[in-house]
Amino acid sequence: FISMHTYGGLPSFLAALAVVSLAGFLALYYAAACCVWVKFAPVNAAAQATVFAALWLLAELMRAIWFTGFPWGAAGYAHSQGPLAGYAPWLGAYAMCAVAAWLAMMLAQLSRTTVLQRAVVVGVLLLPWGYQLSGLSFSAPAGTQSVTLLQGNIPQDEKFQGGTGVPMALRWYGEQIRDARTSLVVAPETAIPLLPQQLPEGYLEAIQQHFATGEQAVLVGIPLGSFKDGYSNSVIGLKPGLVKPYIYAKHHLVPFGEFIPPLFRWFTEMMSIPLGDFNRGSVGQASFEWKGQRLAPNICYEDLFGEEIGANFSDAAKAPTILVNISNIGWFGNSIAIDQHLLISRMRAIEFERPMIRATNTGATVIIDHHGEVTHALERATRGVLVGDVQGRTGITPFAWWVSRFGVWPLWLLGMLVVAIAAAATRMPRKIK
């Protein structure tokens, strides 16, 4: 609502209608899952819970993948803290949705279950605690890097305005990038809000020259491309000895923001948001290597898609040691969206047992360790600089191993197999005693 009405100029009733329509559309996945469950649910309580969990898993996967995918707020993220968090390095967020659904259904049926079934529920609830208390880890320390994370807090309604936000961003980020004293400096998504060819003469060259020698490197968000070749939402990396800048191009684009879905141009034309069709980068782009660390950038809501981040973990020798998210959540104001996005980043850190550093325009600019805990944080909606140390990690979690090879296909197949067995069982003639 905030992005469409406050910054896009869409009338409030239309913005509210769009939000309700999106929520209603996404709810159809879960409504369909419940309808199928009612039709095919077995008699046995544990079997009922298993079928419900499989259907919920399929609904989450459909929401996350179909029609470009929108897994924001998936049920698994509610368990980035608590007893179920121990499942994340094994199963990932989507499968955790199924675990939570299974437990919820079993708990709902406790009054109708046997003592043995109740014991199973309690055992499953306690299992993650045992995992966490055991201290089991799939990763190992790989050195420490000092980082500076920049949060410009450029007002979103001025960010791309030539007379206000653009010179403000160029001046502040330029100064902070050059003044930083840590090994690595990270500036957020579109921190430099102009294409290189649109920048004041010598601006980008001065930054490149600053990092051409010495002991520092920088990752900064900037749009790249041309009218002829198309544009990309990108990160450039600079460090000593680099012949040409490192480039990461965003792969998972935001519908209505970075590309316009078919048949919806009329809707985007009603808003005064600078929209366009960006080029997609590839999945599994190379990491930025610096001082023994392999830093894997992702932009904005790309960290919602663990299966795409997982593509970087197919080769343990080249797997990232640090994950880097650069974002601009300013489109959503100082709202709960900041907290939700932070929770998602924390889940990625737990799944892969990798630290995640986040540089954003308005928040949450933080350092997250490989346990998903926030160790350093800036106050949101303020202009500031966050300085801290981050410990890189090597090693592959079970989730990273299987998702890097098979994607989420094992989850699709498992969910469909359970539902197929339940459907077949309902058609089998029952013996009359």
Residues identified as active-site: 189, 250, 300
The structure tokens listed for 392 are 């890189």
Pairwise CA distance, residues 87 & 319, whole Å: 21
For the chain, the 3-state helix, strand and coil shares in percent, each to the nearest 5, are 45, 20, 35
Sheet holding 374-377, edge to edge: 288-290, 293-299, 322-327, 356-360, 366-368, 374-377
CA atoms within 13 A on the CB side of 262: 2
3-class DSSP assignment, residue 191: coil
Angle between helices 115-134 and 88-108 (to 10 degrees): 150
Taking alpha carbons only, the member of 97, 126, 121 closest to residue 107 is 121
Pairwise CA distance, residues 414 & 100, whole Å: 16
3-class DSSP assignment, residue 254: coil
Strands of 152-226 (E only): list them. Answer: 184-187, 217-226
Pairwise CA distance, residues 65 & 58, whole Å: 10
Pairwise CA distance, residues 70 & 255, whole Å: 10
Residue 11: Cβ-neighbour burial (10 angstroms; 0-12, 13-18, 19+): exposed
